[in-house]
């Protein structure tokens, strides 16, 4: 994708006027139009970061929904931590390289992509799931601290990163904020942010939690992220209402429980927070085709409809990004050729 690191593989979704057909990518089939012409004007950009051992297709339905809402969306496979290559999945270094790879994606989309003129570099948002949510929080200004350990190490203490944490061998790695990102949506974040590690996050955040958790992520861990994001200078916490743990799915058409108004946020404001009732950790992944329904990542709790949830979730995410990075499409500057 560029010359500043290992080659990156990914996909780009754009607004498209043509009706969707089927695109085959390896063993996956997704709806879309290959190489569709991007409409005139400059469009907001959303970059996506998948979870551990995921891929740029992990959230393909969400990417498509955002593109249909007017965004250009770019997603990649994180090097050494994706479905085809897990060689660095268990190493602490992955937590430094992941954010840098997303920075490279933004660089590429705004300076080198053949259709960069269709991207509004002043209107950029980011979405991340699990480790991808960690990645996005770092780019938003969070400063991770691995001294306190990671939840995954309770179940897998022999992972290289867990052994390093236990022995105090935590390398000093650069974690750099990317001020180009103006708003983020995160789902079930891996929590490596104790104490005041999140207080430098000043941009709007929409935070989603699965009620049931899984894969090393717990609701308590996500709630801790919520509290960290709600801190103000001086140690205050957010004032959002406690969620009603007894609220059932059928009491909410979109299967979510709102914790705060979708409004302008900065340092000292609680994130826009939703707990998805009845959802496990993998409910945030794209709904699975029938031939993959038995895979662990495709299993949902009885009564939970992933496809129905995603319709509401994708719409809520698009609305949040529109509110905070604007869905205004800037028309091209007139020239003698197109005036």
**Which of 55 and 171 is assigned the larger pLDDT?**
55
- Over residues 171-185, the pLDDT tens digits come to 787 788 999 999 999
Residue 336 lies inside a defined structural domain of this protein = no
- Report the pLDDT value the prediction gives residue 233, as an integer from 0 to 100: 41
Position with higher pLDDT, 169 vs 165 = 165
Whether residue 3 lies inside any domain: the answer is: no
**Residue 317 in this model has a pLDDT that exceeds 50:** yes
Q: Which domain holds residue 191?
A: 10-325
How high is the pLDDT of residue 234? 34
- Indicate the pLDDT class of residue 322, thresholds 50, 70 and 90: very high
Nearest residue to 66 via CA among 185, 187, 205: 185
Count of domains for the chain: 1
Could you tell me what percent of the chain has a pLDDT over 70? 84
pLDDT, one tens digit per residue, over 223-269 is 999 999 997 343 333 333 334 333 334 433 444 444 444 444 433 46
Q: What is the DSSP letter of 115?
A: T
Asked if the structure places residue 65 within a domain, the reply is yes
20 lies in some domain: yes
Say if 102 falls within a structural domain. yes
Q: Which distant-in-sequence residues (6+ apart) come within 8 Å of 245 by Cβ? A: none
Whole-angstrom distance, CA of residue 41 vs CA of residue 111: 16
Backbone angles phi and psi of 256, in degrees to 5:
-130, 165
Complete DSSP assignment for 245-297: TT--GGG-TTSEEE-S-S----TT---EEEEETT-BGGGGSPPPPGGGTTSGG
Among the listed residues 47, 11, 55, the one whose alpha carbon sits nearest the alpha carbon of residue 32: 11
Q: What is the mean pLDDT of residues 1-16?
A: 86
Is residue 204 included in any domain, yes or no?
yes
Neighbours of 72 (CB within 10 A): 27
Q: Residues 65, 58: contact at Cβ < 8 Å? A: no
Q: What is the CATH number for 81? A: 3.40.50.1820
Residue 127 lies in a domain: yes
pLDDT of residue 26: 74
Phi and psi at 219, nearest 5°, equal: -60, -35
Decide if 38 is inside a domain.
yes
Cβ-based neighbours of 335, under 8 Å, separated by 6 or more: none
Residue 216's pLDDT band (cuts 50, 70, 90): confident
Q: How far apart are CA 334 and CA 318, in angstroms?
A: 30
- Could you say which DSSP state residue 63 is in? H
120 vs 112: CA distance, rounded Å = 13
How do residues 91-136 score in pLDDT, each as one tens digit?
A: 999 999 999 999 999 999 999 999 999 999 999 999 999 999 999 9
């Amino acid at each position: 994708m560029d010359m500043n690191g290992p080659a990156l593989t990914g996909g780009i979704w754009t607004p498209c006027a043509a009706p969707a057909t089927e695109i085959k990518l390896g063993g996956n089939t997704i709806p879309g139009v290959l190489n569709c012409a991007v409409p005139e004007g400059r469009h907001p950009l959303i970059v996506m970061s998948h979870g551990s051992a995921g891929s740029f297709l992990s959230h393909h339905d969400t990417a498509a929904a955002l593109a249909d809402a007017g965004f250009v969306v770019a997603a990649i496979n994180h090097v050494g931590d994706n479905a085809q290559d897990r060689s660095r999945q268990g190493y602490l270094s992955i937590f430094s390289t992941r954010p840098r790879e997303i920075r490279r994606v933004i660089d590429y989309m705004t300076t080198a992509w053949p259709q960069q003129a269709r991207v509004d570099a002043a209107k950029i948002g980011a979405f991340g799931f699990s480790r991808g949510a960690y990645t996005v929080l770092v780019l938003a200004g969070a400063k991770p601290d691995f001294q306190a350990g990671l939840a995954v190490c309770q179940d897998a203490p022999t992972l290289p990163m867990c052994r390093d944490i236990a022995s105090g061998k935590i390398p000093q790695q650069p974690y750099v904020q990317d001020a180009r990102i103006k708003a983020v949506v995160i789902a079930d974040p891996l929590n490596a942010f104790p104490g005041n590690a999140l207080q430098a996050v000043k941009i709007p955040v929409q935070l989603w939690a699965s009620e049931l958790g899984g894969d090393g992520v717990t609701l308590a861990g996500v709630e801790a992220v919520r509290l960290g994001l709600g801190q103000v200078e001086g140690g205050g916490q957010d004032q959002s209402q406690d969620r009603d743990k007894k609220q059932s799915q059928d009491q909410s058409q979109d299967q979510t429980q709102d914790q705060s108004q979708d409004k302008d946020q900065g340092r000292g404001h609680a994130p826009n927070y939703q707990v998805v009732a009845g959802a496990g950790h993998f409910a945030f992944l794209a709904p699975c085709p029938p031939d993959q329904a038995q895979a662990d990542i495709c299993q949902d709790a009885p009564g939970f409809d992933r496809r129905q949830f995603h319709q509401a979730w994708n719409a809520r995410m698009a609305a949040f990004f529109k509110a905070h990075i604007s869905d205004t499409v800037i028309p091209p500057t007139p020239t003698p050729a197109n005036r």
